[in-house]
Structure 1
């Protein structure tokens, strides 16, 4: 009798909750994005980062905040800056990783410490403890109260908040960085920017959970796809950086047809404005530039101007 009651109760629970489960399948990157208490987050369940980077027609417009989204008072490659960026829109955070003299890993773009901190010296010649005593400067040169984060604390912070796009400044130590990611079980919050298929293959062999960033242009599309076909991973394992100029709708469509998400950099001189630097464009011109990427089919825009892109994204979602 008790067994029958348990079976009936189990069936009831399945019937009661099945419609809700079916109504909300994880079918698009949007299902991983939330907004609470004034902050956006991208939370990836274990083993599902490749689903986030699988393109479909409902793929949301996103930002890749270059060096984490620096602005006045918030220096590049700093956790406080990342938190500020995520108040504007859901964003991937591109960060730079360098090795210190004692084999630690920190977030730092330059090999010289003087531009972004109040310290001096070369990163690879300076110990972590010394670097931790320095304060970061914003890009106007103003001193801030923030310190240089190491890779471990950044990976822990990112859990349930965002995806870090790691730009490793020395391929020679790829295995060390992958080991840190693996030890922290942080593969679900990393997109590893790679220089070539060989490096991507090395990363995959060391930790197959880590998502791989591959560069593809209209000129080398078929060649790179052939390399991936011969690699131990599939297209589901990669997303594509498409250079620093908006590409054609046809090119984006070719990538989308293979389920590939495009990350379009918008840096430097722009063909759309007669090779004028993006930094010399006014706000209206930059909006035209960013709109052109999204209108042609670009999925993620990588840029220093994350705030303006955030305005476009949030406005479109109203």
Structure 2
């Protein structure tokens, strides 16, 4: 018996050393900014609008902060180290029909390659490196949509913009990757919305529109207000107040996309005030090239 206790003693010592490590790991996980959406209904609940709804930050192609390239997994991960966020990304087809995440039709602006992306196979594209927004090459490569979706599971949600990928191929890869609960198509027409709604009537929608009548057209299609949010333009416009009011009456969030507008203000303080004004005006979502800046700006809003 005494010998058995002597044999087991090191095991107990090991446990005593390991327990704080386990505890810290659990604590780190509870403090993370990851978002998990196990079902489409969980995604609907996250976007649910109410008067004191927490603003949602949408990284435009991830971020360009910290000299990271847009539409890269490294950019997504960096944002989530600092704030809870979702991401708008850009699926595009290669010559051999691999769907990659890349905004431009051509390679020059964001990689050290040349020519049209569609002229290259997936394997050929791996010879190039992504650039940051100053034009400096980085160590990062163009990711495939499959890689991005696998990485993002249990961490965030993605809004898929429409580039040159046919709708049915986008729907297929979402289904193949079992990503229905954390991917959201961005649609700009009732026809696009109709395709995705018929494919899966439980999915979430990001709908780009500019008028109350357009909004009504999507409701007439059968899409519930609980499964949509509205991309309502790049600036706050007085002439769209009726649209903003109608959207809010239906308990639907609307987003202002600041990448081409307020993000271009010359100082961080001016940008911060513009982001806060977006929320004060009634929007509850902001898309930005600087999602971490947005998070810091909104943290200063009064309760």
- Assess same fold via TM > 0.5: yes
Alpha-carbon shift at residue 103 of structure 1 (Å):
0.6
Q: Is 1:286 the equivalent of 2:279?
A: no
Which of 72, 78, 86 is equivalent to 1:78? 72
> What's the CA shift for 1:165?
0.9
Alignment match, 2:235: 245
Distance (whole Å) between structure 1 residues aligned to residue 222 and residue 249 of structure 2: 21
**CA distance 1:65–1:35, change in 2 (3 Å):** farther
State the match for 2:23 in structure 1. none
Q: Which has the higher contact order (CA 8 A, sep 6+)?
A: 2
Instruction: Give the 5 Å matches for 1:199-214.
Output: 199-214=192-207
Equivalent residue for 2:182? 189
Residues 228 and 235 of structure 1 are in contact (CA less than 8 Å); yes or no, is this contact kept in structure 2? no
Aligned to 2:191: 198
Deviations 1:189-209 (A, max 9, x none): 112111111101101212334
1:178 deviates by: 0.8
Aligned equivalents of 2:31 and 2:116: distance in 1? 38
Contact 1:72/1:140 (8 A) holds in 2:
no
Partner residue, 1:143: 137
The residue that corresponds to 2:289 in the other structure is 304
Gaps of 5+ in 1: 1-33, 271-277
- With normalisation by structure 1, the TM-score equals 0.80
Contiguous gaps of at least 5 residues in structure 2:
1-26
- Aligned counterpart, 1:130: 124
Aligned to 1:256: 248
| Alpha-carbon displacement from aligned partner over 1:250-303 (angstroms, at most 9, x marks no partner) | 653431220211111124356xxxxxxx42432222122111111111111111
Q: Which of 50, 56, 60 does residue 50 from structure 2 map onto?
A: 56
Distance 1:291 1:299, change over 3 A: same
Aligned counterparts of 2:93 and 2:293: Cα–Cα separation in 1: 33
CA distance, structure 2, for counterparts of residue 279 and residue 95 of structure 1: 20
Shift of 1:237: 2.2
Query: TM-score, with normalisation over the residues of structure 2?
Result: 0.83
Q: Give, in whole Å, the separation in 1 of the partners of 2:302 and 2:84.
A: 12
| Structure with the largest fraction of strand | 1
**Higher alpha-carbon deviation: 112-121 or 295-304:** 112-121
d(CA) in 2 for partners of 1:317 and 1:39?
A: 24
Structure 2 CA distance for partners of 1:229 and 1:141, relative to 1, 3 Å: closer
Contact 2:60-2:259 at 8 Å conserved across structures: no
Given candidates 151, 154, 162, the residue that maps to 2:156 is 162
Note the C-alpha offset of 1:229. Answer: 3.1
Provide the aligned length of Structure 1 versus Structure 2. 274
Give CA-to-partner distance per residue, 1:207-246, whole Å, 9 cap, x none: 33431111232xx21x123312321422222110010002
Determine helix, strand or coil for the equivalent of 2:178: coil
